[in-house]
Structure 1
Amino acid sequence: MKAILVPAETHADSEHALRMAAEVARRFSGRIETFALQMPPLVNLTWDPAGVAIMNGADLDHRRIRDDARQLVARLMSEEDVALEPAPAEAGAAPSSDFEASAASSGRASWAWNDKQMAGDGFLGAYGRAFDLTVVCRPRPEGASITTLESALFESGGPILIAPPHPVEKGFGETIVVAWNGSSETARTIAFARPLLRAAKRVIVLADDGGLGDQPSGALVQRRLALSGVPVDLKLIASGGIRSGDAILAEAAALGCDLLLKGAYTQSRLRQMIFGGATSQILAKAEIPVFMAH
């Protein structure tokens, strides 16, 4: 997990995501790239002077948002002892040999600022395809938007790490719970999380084998991880429990979990909107970091 993307926002929860990204970057000598997440202003096609003033005001507002976001990131990265590095070369341009040499020799975590203008959710999802991990905030009415998380989740092609709405202790990920429901989404999540799983002190596969039918059992997933040298146990829960976000969170808390792994939206988003689902419940209530992929 060397290449880490984090959108910077001006709400309070953004600090928690940035600090979590710094922790991951330090652990794997990775490089964080961050930018100010912002929505484009509405285009005013009239020649009304008042309309022009509003549009100019919106431009100034976006510049202020970018400036505030960069100041926040610079302060937090300094506090987290993550060094500033030059931004990567633009696509098609030759990479900087100085940057390559410094990144390869230092072995330290580093960060760079991308001054992309009007970079919204669409940019986040597409640009995330060039990264190993995207770190986002748990959606809340007074914080991050669910559309930001879902853009990173569905459009990047990679995993996301979700920060809860409070500070997370350094060293999180010592006890990891894998919520195994037999889905391809969770199988991909496990594959993406291999570096975190190998670094953990304890991994618990949480499974409801009675409800998996012909899908691989929790014991088979335990064997898969054990063959890779992961210290892994198996915990079976009551029938149907693995389909409940509340049950998963309760079991994770009882096990002392400080990082939860789960495949995201193994049922459709529409079905979850109507009937509820484990992913939706976890996104609404998780107070621990959550690692997801789709």
Structure 2
Amino acid sequence: MNRTVITEIFLTGFQNLQDIRFIIIFLCLIVYLSAMTTNLSIILLISNSHYLQSPMFFYLGHLSFSDMLLISNIVPFLVHIILFNGGLVSLKGCITQFFFYGVSATTECLLLTAMSYDRYLAICSPLHYSNIMSPRLCLYIVGFCWSLGFVITLVPVILIQTLWFCGPYIIDHFFCDFGPLLELSCSDVSIVKYEVLFLSGLLTIIPFWFIVVTYGYIFVTIMKITSVTGRQKTFSTCSSHLAVVCTYYGALFAIYVVPRRGYSLNINKVVSLMYSVVTPLFNPIIYGLRNKEIKLAMKSYVLMCRRNCGK
């Protein structure tokens, strides 16, 4: 049987949208620039403001960097695909895109877990918080999140490179995700699927339940506060993180957990688009609008800029 080894992959993107492609490109660029600007602003504020030197904001800075990596990996080539009604990418380039997508998504999952532990200590054990959540521990946790995200994503990448890809060379998607990439292989992919299913299961289920348990303790602690004002003030310290967690895992489960039977491929693409493009913009907006410390730091920065400009 003759088999052709494919070296290039054609991503179809969103078909039948040629009449409004420039509108979609414009919206994608607006979202991309807004996400990059807001996340970079968060990082700069955290780096330069004395109001934002707590562990929670240290994790938030890395979460913003992860969002920037995620959206920068997707949007530029997405614009190319929409503009030309599809786009060619080398097989190695496709695997590379999947790698950076996996690293950013995995690291974000772990960072959200670390942030939930930080909120648990701050609310449930406030007297021991500063001793436990030391700057050194924060560095170790962040380093562990990025390192584990890198290693866990590297495993399926290595396994994918051992497969035989013989076509077809077309992926009906707007980026190189794991499932569509495996469909191009003529090798036995069962081992790769089970390996990735095991790793992704550990990476999503364990952190998810860890976050659920920590917030269970947080809610119990908040309910023990007799003052209504005290409850609201305490809950406000973790409401931003909880909103981001709900957004992140909601999109993640909609893409990879909810059964796709009865859903069109275009709906799955739209949900993937919301996760990979809109979520990186949504996260800094949530923290910017709901967090008093960030608002205070932003006002202080604006006042400082006005004073410097007035000199």
Query: Taking structure 1 as the reference length, what is the TM-score of the superposition?
Result: 0.23
Structure with the largest fraction of strand = 1
Structure with the largest fraction of helix = 2
Query: Taking structure 2 as the reference length, what is the TM-score of the superposition?
Result: 0.22
Q: Which has the higher contact order (CA 8 A, sep 6+)?
A: 2
